[in-house]
């Protein structure tokens, strides 16, 4: 069986280093916000070409904490509207609600599955104060266009980079350090606009922990200060509480494991791109729509998404032939029971995507024989 994602295999390669880290943390006897968290925050900020990184409990909290930070700083107010793609994992939308803000859904482009920047302006009202972009499936959204709209309407931009660690070109979503200077110059306007990104290190992500974990990267000194306090009960100095915060700290052990894995993230993303290139050039079947990609590093292929009319038939056929696939995602957020008041809304492109997508196996531990087999089976379908 070719697993959709073999987490056991992905992590077993790191087993010895994980065990050394466990021993180190045990020997130190410091389990909350210790040296491993500090070190990860420095390394990940560097990796992203960002001034600050704040480690938090998970990707959802990362988003909520950014919104709460902006509310604390007076840049957002409860009840403000936030533009968000209709085609996203539900966490993006729930985070907006959790911060007492109002999500306004915008259709994606069928070519990219990301928010369609041309449809954003129509949804802007006097209450719109932010855009939450999502780099879905690992591909950067069209940030230049989105930032131009945000500048024009004076909106805050947040990036949900939960699926896009290491994707380049966007100021927060990761930049090699040797490219940092040129990117910073190119994005100097962005840097002054203080953009901010939220990351998830859920085990299945491109950079995955051995449990829940997340982080926020930003160049905004004030926002970083508020968030690092907010994640720790609103307290910077023990038992002195400046804000009404929460407890969402990056776990010391998870940070230790992430410190082991981070140096390999770029090469692992490259392996994903190698598989994606093969799928794109070798899958030849009229019944299958392949994703669009310009071969740049703007995509880290967290997921390799294909579309087909009769998805169930293809999924069953592949399973019968020993290939596990998944659906990201089967029900669009506006059709979820939790959002009963949205159920009658119509987002035809989002609905089409949710009806047709199927995710093929892709990961840094997949062998080329396995890739051969997936291609052969799909071509025979």
Ligand X SMILES: Cc1ncc(COP(=O)(O)O)c(C=O)c1O
Interface ranges with ligand X (CB under 6 A): 58-60, 88-89, 91-92, 134, 160, 162-163, 200, 202, 212, 214
Q: CB of 380: closest distance to ligand X in angstroms?
A: 32
Q: CB of 189: closest distance to ligand X in angstroms?
A: 26
Nearer to ligand X, 162 or 250 (CB): 162
Q: CB of 150: closest distance to ligand X in angstroms?
A: 19
Nearer to ligand X, 199 or 233 (CB): 199
Q: CB of 58: closest distance to ligand X in angstroms?
A: 4
Consecutive H or E run containing 21: helix 15-28
Phi and psi torsions of 156, nearest 5°: -80, 140
Nearer to ligand X, 99 or 283 (CB): 99
Sign of CA dihedral 158, 185, 274, 284: positive
Q: CB of 242: closest distance to ligand X in angstroms?
A: 25
- Cβ–Cβ under 8 Å, residues 67 and 76: yes
**DSSP assignment string, 251-302:** BHHHHHHHHHHGGGHHHHHHHHHHHHHHHHHH---TT-BPPP--SSTTB--S
Q: How far apart are CA 373 and CA 32, in angstroms?
A: 45
Q: CB of 352: closest distance to ligand X in angstroms?
A: 19
Nearer to ligand X, 63 or 314 (CB): 63
Nearer to ligand X, 138 or 361 (CB): 138
Nearer to ligand X, 165 or 168 (CB): 165
Q: How far apart are CA 292 and CA 273, in angstroms?
A: 13
Q: Which residue's Cβ has the minimum distance to ligand X?
A: 59
Consecutive H or E run containing 178: none
Burial of 225 (0-12, 13-18, 19+ CB in 10 A): middle
For the beta carbon of residue 184, count every other beta carbon within 10 angstroms.
15
Structure tokens at 353: 């995507």
């Amino acid at each position: 069986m070719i697993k959709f994602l073999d987490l056991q295999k992905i992590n077993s390669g790191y087993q010895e280093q994980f065990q050394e880290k466990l021993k180190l943390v045990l020997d130190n006897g410091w389990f909350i916000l210790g040296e491993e968290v500090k070190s990860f925050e420095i390394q990940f900020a560097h990796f992203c070409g960002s001034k600050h990184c704040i480690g938090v409990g998970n990707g959802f909290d990362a988003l909520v904490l950014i919104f709460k930070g902006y509310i604390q700083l007076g840049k957002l107010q409860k009840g403000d509207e936030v533009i968000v793609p209709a085609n996203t994992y539900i966490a993006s939308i729930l985070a907006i609600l959790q911060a007492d803000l109002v999500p306004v859904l915008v259709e994606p482009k069928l070519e990219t599955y990301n928010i369609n920047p041309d449809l954003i302006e129509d949804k802007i009202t006097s209450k719109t104060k932010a855009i939450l972009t999502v780099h879905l499936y690992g591909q950067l959204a069209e940030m230049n266009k989105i930032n131009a709209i945000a500048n024009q309407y004076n909106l805050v931009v947040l990036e949900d980079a939960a699926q896009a660690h290491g994707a380049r070109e966007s100021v927060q979503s990761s930049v090699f350090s040797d490219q940092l200077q040129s990117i910073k110059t190119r994005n100097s306007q962005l840097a002054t606009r203080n953009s901010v990104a939220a990351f998830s290190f859920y085990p299945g992500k491109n950079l995955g922990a051995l449990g829940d974990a997340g982080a926020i990267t930003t160049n905004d000194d004030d926002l970083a200060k508020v968030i690092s306090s907010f994640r720790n009960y609103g307290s910077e100095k023990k038992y002195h509480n400046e804000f009404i915060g929460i407890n969402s700290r990056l776990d010391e052990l998870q940070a230790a494991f992430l410190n082991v894995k981070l140096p390999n993230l770029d090469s692992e993303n490259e392996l994903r791109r190698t598989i994606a290139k093969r799928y794109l050039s070798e899958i030849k079947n009229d019944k299958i729509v392949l994703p669009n990609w310009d071969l740049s590093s703007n995509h880290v292929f967290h997921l390799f998404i294909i579309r087909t009319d009769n998805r169930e038939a293809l999924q069953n056929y592949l399973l019968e032939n020993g290939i596990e696939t998944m659906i990201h995602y089967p029900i669009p957020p506006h059709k979820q029971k939790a959002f009963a008041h949205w159920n009658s809304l119509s987002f035809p492109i989002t609905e089409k995507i949710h009806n047709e997508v199927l995710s093929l196996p892709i990961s840094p531990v997949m062998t080329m024989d396995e890739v051969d087999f997936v291609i052969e089976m799909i071509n025979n379908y």
